[in-house]
Structure 1
Amino acid sequence: MFHTKANNVRKYAIILSCLLALTVFLSACSNSVDRGSDASSTESSQQETTKDPAADEAKPKTVTDVMGHEVTIPAHPERIIASYLEDPLVTLGMKPAAQWSVANGIQDYLQTDLKGIPTIAYDLPTEAVLSFNPDLLIVSSENTVGNGMYEQLSKIAPTYVLGDKISKDWRQALLKIGELLNKSPEAEQALKEYDAKAKDTKEKLTKAVGQKSAAILWLTNKQFFLVDETVSSAAVLYNDLGMLPPNLVSDIPDDKKASWNSVSLEKLAGLDADYIFLVNSDKMAGTDETLGSPIWKGLKAVKEGHVIELPSTSSWLYSGVKAGEQIMDDVLKNLVK
């Protein structure tokens, strides 16, 4: 009987030991699972915290252009045609599928960035547009898409009309195109850098020559044109750099002003300007004998040797960050010794 009781005690002891071992094992497993869950949760939380918002993929977006068209802009357009808007595209670090041209002429000042890019006529013939297989068209003027042209172009690719009002203000054009292409930070940074360069150039120019007047003349086909103070190189010279517009520009009535105003030799005789910046398209054509006339030679700036002649391939007929920066470089090169 004693042995039986002893055996029972040993049996219960063994069972109790097994239960204790099982309890310890289950407890350990539970702790391990909890620790794994906590680690996984912590790692997930860290990933969410360190995730870069900029890493999110851009998505197509639907916008309304100046003419009321609803246009779906691709997330990452790669074959853009934006005729005569190549300056903002280049500024934003992009290249078009085709570049603007007219009468076999192109924007020469951009060719460092656009070398090898095929050309397309300024009026965007649909057959030519189709041949480039674009995924986005940005059109500068409402006039370009009149008479059913918009419907034809929009069948080829999403077509956004920027409009004359924005296109004529290169700063607004750059910002709008930056917005369309998800490059607003790049557009804003480009403007900051441009303004800093303009400020520095103005300070150097003022120190070198003081406040002087300057005319910008374009000579083509033996005809002089005087640039309006609000556009192209004149906007840089007068607004950004602080030079004074000459009397002939100021005398043109507002309702008669054009971007480039024709000036006869007889009228040019009354020009009062300290400097003349001459964009000479006739020199390349070998027909610049106009500059040999007594009227031209009698101008104040000509007699004083203050004529800066620029090739027609320069940026002085254009607008934009790239154009303006090159114009400022030309001013520094010629007036700041």
Structure 2
Amino acid sequence: MKLFNKYTAFGLSLLIGGSLLAACGSNNKTDSSSAKDSTAEERVMKDALGNEVTIPANPKKIIGSYLEDYLVALDETPIAQWTVNNASIQDYLQDKLEGIPTISYDLPYEEVLKYEPDLLLVSSSATVEGGKYAEYSKIAPTYVVKNGDGVTWRDQLTDVASVLNKEDQAKEILADYDTLADKTKAELADNAADQSAAVLWITNNQAFMVSETRSSGAVLYGDLGLKIPNLVAEISETATADWSAVSLEKMAELDADNIFLINSDESDPFFQENVWKNLKAVKNDKVYSFGGDSSWLYNGPIANTNIIKDLKASLIK
């Protein structure tokens, strides 16, 4: 199995902490890939924090904070893309974002300023705490997208689309995704009925498991109806983030028929442990590995569509 690990220790702490706080910067690509509406008008909208934000009629220089998936899906090219330590980017979006410069996840004021955005979209309320919202608002209209517990990628897509006046396009994106998910769910029922699956991320001799209702877990268990292993259900009861650490002792209880191994280092000593070697999925050669260029660590219509395609290629023969 060929595995890859592109995340720094700092990036790891951000991912485990829940939502990846992020940001976007700029380069010479200042126009959206979609045509702008010449009849559009400036609007005032209330964001997730209750701020009244004046949205420009046709924003052309958008900075999105870890919202690139939604922007690309809506045919918008941001002027920058999120990074952690100038090392981690969303590789799966690079067919659309190649050459777009990066900006640190924490949106340094001076970096945002130099790109002169005409609209700043922020994915997490925490990003604008401590007076930062007022600072950003001096640069550009700043809109905090719906976020927090209970907010899904569907909610965020719809919110971003409403800001960009693309509600109808968002509905089409969701309809296409649901059609793919429903078709795949039916195919799984015919080809992998009653099979369970777990999603693991192994790094620094530590295993992390995706929660039942978060990230790729929401796709596998919620959208596709795959059986939830007992250990995944147990871990999910107390999970406060997308990924939860699992001890070696608890890992021995994992009874999943299939394991999806994400962005993991094949040289990690964890894979030499007898606990790992004796897992049912490992012994039955039902471990499917995806590297850092995959979308399994992310959320959004593009990320989740890619996850479904990866899963189909793995389980549906």
Flag whether TM exceeds 0.5 (same fold): yes
Return the alpha-carbon distance in structure 1 between the equivalents of residues 204 and 151 of structure 2. 26
Task: State the Cα distance separating 1:212 from its structure 2 match.
Answer: 1.1
1:51 matched residue in structure 2: none
Cα gap change, 1:87 to 1:167, in 2 (>3 Å):
farther
Q: Counterpart of 2:292 in structure 1: which amino acid?
A: S
Secondary structure of 1:282's partner? coil
> Which of 55, 73, 81 does residue 73 from structure 1 map onto?
55
Q: Is the 8 A contact 1:228 1:249 kept in 2?
A: yes
More helix as a share of residues: 1
1:98 matched residue in structure 2: 80
TM-score, structure 1 length as denominator? 0.80
Counterpart check, 1:119 vs 2:107: no
Return the alpha-carbon distance in structure 2 between the equivalents of residues 281 and 95 of structure 1. 30
Cα gap change, 1:271 to 1:278, in 2 (>3 Å):
same
Return the alpha-carbon distance in structure 2 between the equivalents of residues 252 and 97 of structure 1. 39
Task: State the Cα distance separating 1:253 from its structure 2 match.
Answer: 6.4
Cα gap change, 1:111 to 1:155, in 2 (>3 Å):
same
Return the alpha-carbon distance in structure 2 between the equivalents of residues 313 and 278 of structure 1. 13
Larger RCO (CA within 8 A; separation ≥ 6): 2
- Residue-by-residue CA offset, 1:143-192 (whole Å, 9 max, x unaligned): 10011111111100000011423894110111111111011111000000
2:304 matched residue in structure 1: 324
Q: Counterpart of 1:82 in structure 2: which amino acid?
A: G
Question: Which range moves more in the overlay, 287-296 or 73-82?
Answer: 287-296
TM-score, structure 2 length as denominator? 0.85
Return the alpha-carbon distance in structure 2 between the equivalents of residues 320 and 256 of structure 1. 21
> Which of 169, 175, 178 does residue 152 from structure 2 map onto?
169
Counterpart check, 1:264 vs 2:244: no
Task: State the Cα distance separating 1:219 from its structure 2 match.
Answer: 1.0
1:153 matched residue in structure 2: 136
2:269 matched residue in structure 1: 289
Task: State the Cα distance separating 1:71 from its structure 2 match.
Answer: 0.6
Task: State the Cα distance separating 1:257 from its structure 2 match.
Answer: 3.9
2:68 matched residue in structure 1: 86
Task: State the Cα distance separating 1:313 from its structure 2 match.
Answer: 2.2
- Residue-by-residue CA offset, 1:275-299 (whole Å, 9 max, x unaligned): 110113323xxx3232121110000
Return the alpha-carbon distance in structure 1 between the equivalents of residues 223 and 180 of structure 2. 10
Counterpart check, 1:333 vs 2:313: yes
Give the number of aligned pairs: 281
Cα gap change, 1:210 to 1:275, in 2 (>3 Å):
same
Return the alpha-carbon distance in structure 1 between the equivalents of residues 238 and 207 of structure 2. 20
Counterpart check, 1:187 vs 2:170: yes
Task: State the Cα distance separating 1:108 from its structure 2 match.
Answer: 0.8
Which aligned pairs between 1:300-311 and structure 2 lie closer than 5 A?
300-311=280-291
Return the alpha-carbon distance in structure 1 between the equivalents of residues 99 and 57 of structure 2. 26
Structure 1 unpaired stretches of 5+: 1-53
> Which of 172, 187, 191 does residue 208 from structure 1 map onto?
191
Question: Which range moves more in the overlay, 245-254 or 215-224?
Answer: 245-254
Pick the structure with greater CA Rg.
Answer: 1
Return the alpha-carbon distance in structure 2 between the equivalents of residues 291 and 298 of structure 1. 11
Return the alpha-carbon distance in structure 2 between the equivalents of residues 105 and 179 of structure 1. 29
Q: Is the 8 A contact 1:276 1:301 kept in 2?
A: yes
Q: Is the 8 A contact 1:231 1:319 kept in 2?
A: no
Q: Is the 8 A contact 1:218 1:280 kept in 2?
A: yes
Counterpart check, 1:298 vs 2:281: no
- Percent identity, aligned pairs only? 50
Q: Is the 8 A contact 2:201 2:263 kept in 1?
A: yes
Return the alpha-carbon distance in structure 1 between the equivalents of residues 311 and 143 of structure 2. 36
Return the alpha-carbon distance in structure 1 between the equivalents of residues 219 and 261 of structure 2. 15
Q: Is the 8 A contact 2:212 2:218 kept in 1?
A: yes
Q: Is the 8 A contact 2:295 2:307 kept in 1?
A: yes
Return the alpha-carbon distance in structure 1 between the equivalents of residues 37 and 314 of structure 2. 46
Return the alpha-carbon distance in structure 2 between the equivalents of residues 272 and 298 of structure 1. 10
Q: Structure 1 residue runs of 4+, over 6 Å off? A: none
Structure 2 unpaired stretches of 5+: 1-35
Return the alpha-carbon distance in structure 2 between the equivalents of residues 129 and 222 of structure 1. 37
Q: Is the 8 A contact 2:147 2:156 kept in 1?
A: no
- Residue-by-residue CA offset, 1:119-166 (whole Å, 9 max, x unaligned): 111100011111111000011111100111111111000000114238
Return the alpha-carbon distance in structure 2 between the equivalents of residues 330 and 256 of structure 1. 25
Q: Counterpart of 1:186 in structure 2: which amino acid?
A: Q
> Which of 292, 296, 299 does residue 312 from structure 1 map onto?
292
